[in-house]
Amino acid sequence: MGNAQRNQVVHFEVLGRDATALRRFYGEAFGWPLGPVAEGPMEYSMVHFGEGAGGIDGGIGSAGEGAGHATFYVGVDDPQAALDQIERLGGRTVLAPVRIPEGITFALFADPEGHVVGLVTE
């Protein structure tokens, strides 16, 4: 992702049943520069606007068996510490921190009304 800053929105994701159709839709609707499809079941493509272009980078892919969702991610120093604070404030952990091979760690939480938001650190 390369743009994580403390407590700012740094990434978005749109996942659904038909990743190919979603990539085509967002690419054509907004002219988003989509990268190649990553190998694996998520059929994930990064959206990267480039240095100085503004906006945040993201990804579009398959939700697997779920109905899909759109999520934004907040850059934090320590996802577990952030989850602990979120739980103290009435939120709940949806997904404990997970480290992926590219070196980032991400987690998901629900706010007091149930909206799911991501956390990420590099």
**Any idea where the domains of the chain sit in the sequence?**
12-70, 76-122
What is each CA distance from 116 to 2, 31, 54, 80, 95, in whole angstroms?
Answer: 23, 27, 25, 16, 10
- Identify whether the C-beta of residue 60 lies closer than 8 Å to the C-beta of residue 45: yes
- Identify whether the C-beta of residue 75 lies closer than 8 Å to the C-beta of residue 5: yes
Helix, coil or strand: residue 61: strand
Domain 76-122 matching CATH 3.10.180.10: the answer reads yes
Span 62-83, pLDDT tens digits: 998 878 889 999 999 999 999 9
- What gap in Å lies between CA 119 and CA 9, rounded to an integer? 9
Distance of CA 78 to the CA centre of its chain: 16
> Has residue 21 got a pLDDT over 90?
yes
Q: What is the pTM of this model?
A: 0.80
